[in-house]
Amino acid sequence: MINISIKQLRYFEALARHGHFGRAAEDCAISQPALSVQIKDLEETLGAPLVERGPKRVRLTSLGEELALRARKILRSVEELGDLARASQNPLLGRLRFGVIPTIAPYFLPGFIGTLTHHFPNLDLRPREAVTSSLITDLLEGRLDMAVVALPVSEPTLHEQALFDEEFVLVRALKDAQKPVPDSDMLREMRLLLLEEGHCFRDQALSFCKMSSPLPRDVMEGSSLTTLVQMVGAGIGVTLIPEMAIPIETRSAPVSVARLANPRPTRSIGFVWRKTNPLSDQLSYISKLVLPPSREVSEPEHETASAGQV
């Protein structure tokens, strides 16, 4: 009988994921020599090499690739044993690992964490901010319990629980506050500022503007909504942001905010988690406690915004 420990599988899975002994050791909170010893012991137990060691990266052998797949399944099952124990407890105790996408995190997390802390004071919260694709991968591989993302994600093994809908609003220079609000056709002719590739909000904004492949001279990119709004305040162009971002992002920039014409672009915000997660009932209960972040846009079609006010 081959004697392989869960600890060895965790270390090997981290190495397979990072492709680098140093980063894998940091992820596992151990020294690089200690990780190397564990991987070597695992290879000796199996009687075959798992990785090809290079100067900068390691590559998995064919056996290593197969073991990485099986190790993730085993580790996910081990995690779910802990989830099963937690699911039998009331109120929810222990650790909750959840992810949030960057266009939601700064505006949603304070209220969400406050709600969880109030209802579940013994809950150990482990938030992580990342783009949707990374969060979905971590969910599927058992490194997260749930994530807050824009729906739908259309992954058959994940349950989607809608929380609320919100509109996108137009942000433009303060001097343009009294101009007519452009429609999607007009936006295509303007200098539109967008998030970098990988952000789902970028794709949603492009979809509204019916732009599948924007020209570099027409579109400028930023790494965050904060950067985009500050660029607009400097007179570089216009951008779209979600409603929940308005109170934070517009308070320090000389910009104006306006609602777009109907049909207004919107997105649906929700939880996603594995359908097999034993914590499903608890996560569903948590979803009922969530309220949308406060929004500060008045109903009229034209805005009267100034720096720091909406």
Residues 117 and 157 in one domain: yes
Residue-range definition of the domain harbouring residue 29: 6-85
Q: Which residues pair with 173 in a beta bridge?
A: 255
- Amino acid letter, 300: P
CB neighbour class for 216 (10 Å; exposed up to 12, middle 13-18, buried from 19): exposed
The CA–CA distances, whole Å, from 165 to 59, 200, 245, 246 equal 44, 15, 14, 15
| 309 within some domain | no
Residues 42 and 22 in one domain: yes
d(CA 36, CA 34): 5
Given 53, 85, 117, the domain boundary residue is 85
Residues 36 and 12 in one domain: yes
**For residue 261, what pLDDT is reported?**
84
Strands (E), 123-212: 123-129, 146-151, 158-173, 192-195
Residues 190 and 261 in one domain: yes
Helix, strand, coil share (%) of the chain residues, nearest 5: 40, 25, 35
**C-alpha of 97 from chain center:** 12
**For residue 300, what pLDDT is reported?**
35
Question: In the structure encoding, which two tokens stand for residue 238, read together?
Answer: 């216009």
Residues 159 and 273 in one domain: yes
Cβ neighbours of residue 224 under 8 Å, at least 6 residues apart? 102, 195
Residues 180 and 137 in one domain: no
Among 215, 130, 222, CA closest to 171: 222
| 295 within some domain | no
Q: Is beta strand 266-274 parallel, antiparallel or unpaired with respect to 51-53?
A: unpaired
Structural domains in the chain (count): 3
d(CA 106, CA 15): 31
Residues 131 and 274 in one domain: yes
| 68 within some domain | yes
Given 47, 64, 85, the domain boundary residue is 85
**For residue 91, what pLDDT is reported?**
56
- What backbone phi and psi angles, to 5 degrees, belong to 5? -95, 155
Residues 135 and 215 in one domain: no
- Amino acid letter, 84: L
The CA–CA distances, whole Å, from 67 to 5, 62, 116 equal 13, 9, 37
d(CA 236, CA 202): 18
12 touches 61 (CB < 8 A): no
Q: In which residue are the tokens 């490194």 written?
A: 143
| 17 within some domain | yes
| 304 within some domain | no
CB atoms near residue 293 (< 10 Å): 23
d(CA 84, CA 82): 5
Find the CATH number of the domain harbouring 106. Answer: 3.40.190.10
| 1 within some domain | no
Residues 175 and 243 in one domain: yes
Find the CATH number of the domain harbouring 54. Answer: 1.10.10.10
Residues 118 and 199 in one domain: no
| 239 within some domain | yes
Residues 149 and 231 in one domain: no
| Residuewise pLDDT in 10s, the chain (310 residues) | 678 888 999 999 999 988 889 889 998 999 999 999 999 999 999 999 999 987 778 889 999 999 998 998 888 888 777 767 766 666 566 789 999 999 999 999 999 999 999 999 988 999 999 999 999 999 988 889 999 999 999 999 999 999 999 999 999 999 998 889 988 888 878 888 888 877 888 888 878 776 665 444 456 788 899 999 999 999 989 999 999 999 999 998 999 999 988 888 899 999 999 998 888 988 999 999 988 886 554 433 334 344 433 3
Residues 66 and 127 in one domain: no
**For residue 204, what pLDDT is reported?**
83
Indicate left, alpha or beta for 295 from its phi (over 0: left) and psi (-120 to 50: alpha): beta
Given 51, 85, 119, the domain boundary residue is 85
Question: In the structure encoding, which two tokens stand for residue 194, read together?
Answer: 């967008």
| 297 within some domain | no
